[in-house]
Amino acid sequence: MAILPIRQYPDHVLKKNAVPVEHIDLEVEKLIEDMGETMCAAKGVGLAAPQTGTSRRIIIIGMSGQEKPEQFIELINPQIIMAEGEELAEEGCLSVADYKAKVRRALKIKVSYHDKQAIQREMEAEGIIARILQHEIDHLNGLLFFERLSRIKRDLIKRRLIKRAKHNNSAS
């Protein structure tokens, strides 16, 4: 397993729609294992393949502080098939370091996906797990959490992140 670099906004891969996984092979299985190790090392609660530079429709979710990277749930080609209720809560993102904001999300969802054995499954989730799933599925659709904010807040965060990226690139 390997810890992968986590792409930061405004990296172009974060803005693209991820490509569906057609076949679950050794490459996909290794990517999932590496994503698990990467998420745990970053103390994250979820990670989408585009955040590691791979435009594939794969996400993993877990809880921070896990010692074993295999203690996560992997979802291949996930899609939300039901959403109800509404909740406003703070979110952050491994690809948008040092920024958090309150984002409105569905309180309860149902997700259809494939597991590593290519078996079609469904999962119902509510609360924090539903929020994590929605956040990571947004990544697969080229959306970051701050794009769900008001235009003023969104533009302010984008300007700051682009300025920071330019500063970091010129310092390198």
Active-site amino acid positions = 136
3-state secondary structure of 136: helix
* 19-32 burial code (b ≥16 CB/10 A, e <16): eebeebeeebeebb
| DSSP 8-state class, residue 19 | B
Q: Which of 38, 114, 32, 27 is nearest to 78 (CA)?
A: 114
Beta-sheet strand order (sheet of 58-61): 46-48, 58-61, 73-84, 108-114, 120-126
CA nearest to 79, candidates 18, 146, 27, 149: 18
